[in-house]
Structure 1
């Protein structure tokens, strides 16, 4: 990360040094609307702010991580990827930034994308002694399995998800079976979400894998437990994330770096907006709330973006100058 940030600042000189000669008006720019909700909402937030606050002409194009990055790197289009999870393209991104084709702007998810084992906040409040996964494993009675209440349940992931592999290996590494727990493999994402909803309705304990930002964590307050160790990338790559690893060790989940990335041409065409994309970022709790509202109201990405701009000005107004903020508010 240090290497990548250093490269980014060096490349950023392309537009920082050009600051005094920036165009007074914003040009035509294209933004990738990725095929997952948080990134889709971010794309519409950017469109609304860039159009109404900076006078840009914005078009949205469908995208996903790999294809969008490849197109930006090779063709300089689209101009902007608001939410790029860089772990899968880190090496190529470092090269593109170093060579001046792309610019890595602010981390849009200020805390990164997070994974882990979670428990309901109401249970954490009632049992403040539970701070780690190991603490939770001392209390199988607090997390009863629905089909066998005499045992505790650790909820895993549906078949085909990488988290099912890591959860299974951590279950083994922690000796959870000997502690009185069984591993519960849901058949689908809906079943996993349903188990959380049921726990909150019945006020019973729940322990298992989940990730943020997500709508379910916006609807239900959960606490992510520590595994008591730092993330060991070598162990993760060689065992924790490998099916049927014979001797897994306790490990923590990695935090995914999630940044906004723009092309060099974006900095040239929309230089007046570079301060914005270098300041913009929100925490997972905020995104969780927006996603939960979106889910409950069957809203579109644009609906959710407008909801955010209308209800969270204390967050986004800090990303722009006061005059830009007023223009955006007037257009809502």
Structure 2
């Protein structure tokens, strides 16, 4: 009996020690797997979602943080960045957000880490077949002399507004975007409101759907678009010329071409102290309009979510992103892929 109890107590002791070790290890693992949560801004377009997922995958698997996303309009999410509800903004289109951006920097609410990519394509677009035709599809040129925004007045009847056939329709920036107000003012500045009605789509998806429909039916279309997008990577579109960018005129009435956009990555001013290694990684994060467009086309062609496109992109471009992080972090991320 004595030996029996000795055996039982020994077994229980081993069990307790084992539980203690397990508990300690589990706590340690949890600590490593949850250094905190990094919250990204989703302002409503696909490219920012892809970059959120690319950065998020690296941060979760390489730096052991959780990540989350807050959705909203450009202005709402930028306010969230300023007040700390959002930690990181992967695409700040500075020319569309200049005043609040400058105010936030001067107040010390945000820290700009670098340029994600640059683009000089933002403005009025039309399908190229309208100008050049498409012999393979039997499409004759509809507006062979359409080269600039000023030329639009000559072709207003081509872009008939179904709600008001007496005028053409220009599709503007989608609801909640800063571009919506810029394009609305541009239409007035160029005097296009005499011949056109300005229409605001309810979302980025509604805007792109209108373009897909036009291409499917070989119809006229004119409106706001930009790069990088899957639309401009997949479809042949022409951006209409505007007067060369002039800062004074732009600030007055937007009556020039959009300036070249540097798409910044910025974080809330608290993040460098809270997650310095993550901030170091985001400082090194640099892509291009073309690289971003690849992921967007993948999403469209494969009916994929931004998360799937990000993982596909990470597998394809290991030589690029592995330079953004230390070697041990790169190994962990590659292992997770």
The answer to whether the superposition gives a TM-score over 0.5 is: yes
Tell me, yes or no, if structure 1 residue 200 matches structure 2 residue 215. yes
SS in 1 for 2:238: strand
Aligned match for 1:183, one of 193, 196, 202: 196
Match of 1:93 in 2: 104
Tell me, yes or no, if structure 1 residue 239 matches structure 2 residue 253. yes
| Cα separation, 1, equivalents of 2:82 and 2:197 | 42
Aligned match for 2:314, one of 301, 306, 309: 309
Aligned match for 2:170, one of 133, 138, 155: 155
Q: How does 1:63-78 map to 2 (within 5 A)?
A: 63-64=71-72, 65-74=74-83, 76-78=84-86
Aligned residues: 282
Q: Is the CA contact 2:171–2:223 (under 8 Å) kept in the aligned structure 1?
A: yes
| Cα separation, 1, equivalents of 2:231 and 2:329 | 33
Q: How does 1:33-52 map to 2 (within 5 A)?
A: 33-36=41-44, 37-52=46-61
Q: Is the CA contact 1:158–1:185 (under 8 Å) kept in the aligned structure 2?
A: no
SS in 2 for 1:110: strand
Unaligned stretches of 5+ residues in structure 1: 1-24, 241-249
Q: How does 1:92-241 map to 2 (within 5 A)?
A: 92-97=103-108, 102-111=110-119, 114-120=121-127, 132-133=147-148, 140=155, 144-145=158-159, 155-157=170-172, 161-172=180-191, 183=196, 185-186=198-199, 188=201, 193-201=208-216, 206-232=221-247, 234-240=248-254
Unaligned stretches of 5+ residues in structure 2: 1-32, 134-140
Alpha-carbon RMSD: 4.3
The Cα of 1:95 is off from its aligned counterpart by: 1.8
Q: Is the CA contact 1:26–1:269 (under 8 Å) kept in the aligned structure 2?
A: no
Q: Is the CA contact 2:124–2:149 (under 8 Å) kept in the aligned structure 1?
A: no
| Cα separation, 1, equivalents of 2:185 and 2:220 | 22
* TM-score (norm. length: structure 2): 0.64
The Cα of 1:116 is off from its aligned counterpart by: 0.8
- From the two aligned structures, give the one with the greater helix fraction: 2
* TM-score (norm. length: structure 1): 0.64
Relative distance call for 1:31 and 1:119 in structure 2 (3 A) is same
Structure 1 or 2, whichever has the larger Rg, is 2
